[in-house]
Amino acid sequence: MTTGYEPLNTLKPIGPDIWIADGPHISFYGLPFPTRMTVVRLDDGGLWVHSPIKPDDKLIAQINKIGPVRHLIGPNWIHYASLHDWKTRYPAALVWVAPGVEARAAKHNVPLTVDEHLIDTAPDAWAGQLDQMIVRGSKIHHEAVFYHAHSKTLILTDLIENFERRTLPWWMRILTKFARIQHPDGQMPIDMRQTFNGHREQLRKAVEQMIAWGPERVILAHGHWYQRDGVAELKRAFRFLF
């Protein structure tokens, strides 16, 4: 089954020192989700790999040409499945995870070695290059978001999903439309939105910070991502907060 984002497992440059790679589908509650990771080359030449997709030899060869892998990022509780495979290939790389990742992996008996925990401020390893924060307010979904100022790119995971009809079987077209995660009006999934009930002020403040960063691009893990007009897309996708 094609994803609509071929070629897969291929580094695609999108700005200075930043790439994406689209991966194969992963099953999430029986639904085929396309996958996408982001790679940033830091000032020291090391690579920062966000939400790594399932690795293969083709992708690893391309990665090795642009720098050594030093940081592997698990940005939320449902984006950790391939961290172990990457840590096996790059044992010197540090695995950084958002709140909830360790517990989820343990619950599902997924092997995971955690070296560091993501917090609201960037560590010395990428301070001044990537800004970050943990989006709080949800009962279960605590996502780390990042802003790469050099390329004016905001890196999200699941806070916005934006599936394209052309890539979907007919039944997923119905589901994604109902869940408000279909391009061109992809938003936060309805079920995730409900987990912020009673604490939407925290979510609103986080979105205001994302807007204040002034991103030109917004990368998403699932579906069509935004190559331009990033601030406008954030205001559109999170209009329910304002």
Query: Per the domain annotation, does 3 fall within a domain?
Result: no
Give the other-Cβ count within 10 Å of 197's Cβ. 10
Query: Per the domain annotation, does 53 fall within a domain?
Result: yes
In this structure, what CATH number is given to the domain that contains residue 23?
A: 3.60.15.10
Domain span including residue 78:
12-241
Query: Per the domain annotation, does 84 fall within a domain?
Result: yes
> What is the total count of domains within the chain?
1
Query: Per the domain annotation, does 140 fall within a domain?
Result: yes
Flag whether pLDDT at 29 surpasses 90.
Answer: no
Query: Per the domain annotation, does 4 fall within a domain?
Result: no
pLDDT in tens, 167-196: 999 999 999 999 999 999 999 999 999 999
Q: What are residue 48's DSSP bridge partners?
A: 40, 71
Angstrom distance (rounded) from CA 48 to CA 188? 25
Q: What are residue 27's DSSP bridge partners?
A: 32
The encoded tokens of residue 190 equal 């309805």
Q: Is the peptide bond before 169 cis (omega within 30 degrees of 0)?
A: no
Q: Looking at this protein, which amino acid is placed at residue 95?
A: V
Query: Per the domain annotation, does 46 fall within a domain?
Result: yes
Which residues are within 8 A (CB) of 95 and not within 5 positions of it... i.e. 6 or more apart?
Answer: 72, 74, 83, 87, 112, 113, 114, 115, 116
Query: Per the domain annotation, does 114 fall within a domain?
Result: yes
Query: Per the domain annotation, does 158 fall within a domain?
Result: yes
CA triple 100-211-50, angle to 5 deg: 40
Q: Is 98 helix (H, G, I), strand (E, B) or coil?
A: coil
pLDDT in tens, 213-239: 999 999 999 999 999 999 999 999 999
pTM of this structure: 0.97
- How many residues belong to the chain? 242
pLDDT in tens, 115-148: 999 999 999 999 999 999 999 999 999 999 999 9
